[in-house]
Amino acid sequence: MSQKIVLPETLSLQGYDHLLVAFSGGMDSAVLLHMLAGLRETRGITLRAVHIHHGISRYADDWQQHCQQVCDELGVPLLIRKVTLHTEGRGTEAAAREARYAAFSELLQAGEALVTAHHQDDQCETLLLALKRGSGPAGLSAMPPVLRFCSEVLIRPLLSFTRQQLAAYAAHHQLQWVEDDSNQDPAYDRNFLRLQILPQLEQRWPHFTAAVTRSAELCGEQEALLDELLRPELAHLLTHENALPVAPLAGFSAVKRAAVLRRWLMHCGAPMPSRDALARLWREVALSRDDANPRLSLGEGELRRYDQHLWWVRVTAGQRQTHLHWADRHTPLPLPAGLGCLATAEQGIKLRRPAADEQLSVRFSVQGKLYIVGRDRGRSLKKIWQECGVPPWRREITPILFYNDEPVCAPGVFVTRYADPKDLPDSHCWWLNWTGRA
């Protein structure tokens, strides 16, 4: 094919000029990094590269050294991140990808885009793998050229180029790259397609890869249209805590309900469920008995129903036995299990100041009755959680502040009479804030 097609000037960077390039050292990423390095003056872009050392291959150290040499020659700063793979219950490919993108998310800076070297052949392989899994239009839309990633974006500027075009560019510029020995192992699904299936399909139908890419783009367009049509309705249904009411969903057709549920889960940051999991969500969670406490695992979270709403909640270990001493309330107190921290603030929960002989601590359970502001008699903590509408999964991860052994407050839920600031001047009070909660 004409090399004029593969010109750095044709790359779409989606308006971003601060880029973090995923650089494996293979041909695809070598071409991408070389192209972007050539655009620094004309486009005014700033480049960094990151190499992930998976530690799988015996050549991993050599690949790292090669990547450093290439980046030194191009004048591109290189970050090296060594990762540990967790393969429990999944294959090496999936574990490596998860570790890789976790590292990318940690290294990506504000205002910076992650750039990967996925190309048209990768797109074709991704769609065929989605077909193998029985995916719907969302899965068949494969890889979009731009995707939200963490709080920034991931862009794929090479999606319109074939592997042959990238090889021609690499040969023309005499680029050097490493060859991953695992790429020749057909035991991996993607390698099986690349080595044995796609060559036969291309031999029979020379434009097969381009046609598959068009199909992926059309599926993506249909999904984008559904997103646009359903976004206002979903926004109207959601509570401020992203819970979804069951009653309106019951009036939808099964097809529309499934589409809304998928977009709700995507909005919550949950993984996309299979068709069977979606059916179980509706049957076993949404339609379960009123007195049931249904739950369905999905990714790192659970699908729950509470107060006639559906929730997707991240699984967090209960902290019932945890007891934290807060030596200085002017210094933020980190909470365990990613539950954020407690801190003195200029606004928040207003409390009377502790006396000089009152030590502060944080616990996650209380014995006996609590006498809280706004209630005429004592109640157990379990009863207060119920009356205040605190879902069951939050009851052992909501911190409770104590003065010595007297419970004072659960931020956002209650304040006890013991620390009631009523009728006290501000000089005798302080404000508590719970930030970064799970």
Q: Model confidence over 94-152: pLDDT tens digits?
A: 788 888 988 999 999 999 999 999 999 999 999 999 888 887 888 888 788 888 888 88
- pLDDT at position 92, please? 79
Flag whether 29 is marked binding: yes
| Choice between 338 and 408, residue whose per-residue pLDDT is larger | 408
Q: Which pLDDT band, with edges at 50, 70 and 90, does 41 fall under?
A: confident
- pLDDT at position 149, please? 85
Flag whether 75 is marked binding: no
Of the candidate ranges 3-7, 38-42, 195-199, 257-261, the one whose mean pLDDT is the lowest = 3-7
Q: What is the mean pLDDT of residues 263-269?
A: 90
Q: What is the mean pLDDT of residues 182-195?
A: 88
Tokens of 369: 């009755």
- pLDDT at position 3, please? 43
**Residue 282 pLDDT exceeds 50:** yes
Flag whether 24 is marked binding: yes
**Residue 384 pLDDT exceeds 50:** yes
Q: Model confidence over 285-337: pLDDT tens digits?
A: 999 988 888 999 988 889 999 999 999 998 888 999 999 999 999 999 999 98
> How much of the chain, in percent, has pLDDT values that exceed 70?
97
Q: What is the mean pLDDT of residues 58-79?
A: 95
Strands of the sheet with 414-415, listed across from one edge = 323-326, 360-363, 400-403, 406-410, 414-415
Q: Model confidence over 75-98: pLDDT tens digits?
A: 999 999 998 887 776 677 778 888
- pLDDT at position 89, please? 63
**What fold, for 3-216?**
Rossmann fold (3.40.50)
**Residue 38 pLDDT exceeds 70:** yes
CA pair distance 93, 88, nearest whole angstrom: 12
Q: What is the mean pLDDT of residues 225-231?
A: 94
Flag whether 380 is marked binding: no
Q: What is the mean pLDDT of residues 202-207?
A: 92
Flag whether 361 is marked binding: no
**What fold, for 239-314?**
Chorismate Mutase Domain, subunit A (1.20.59)
Flag whether 28 is marked binding: yes
Q: Domain segments of the chain: what residues?
A: 3-216, 239-314, 323-435
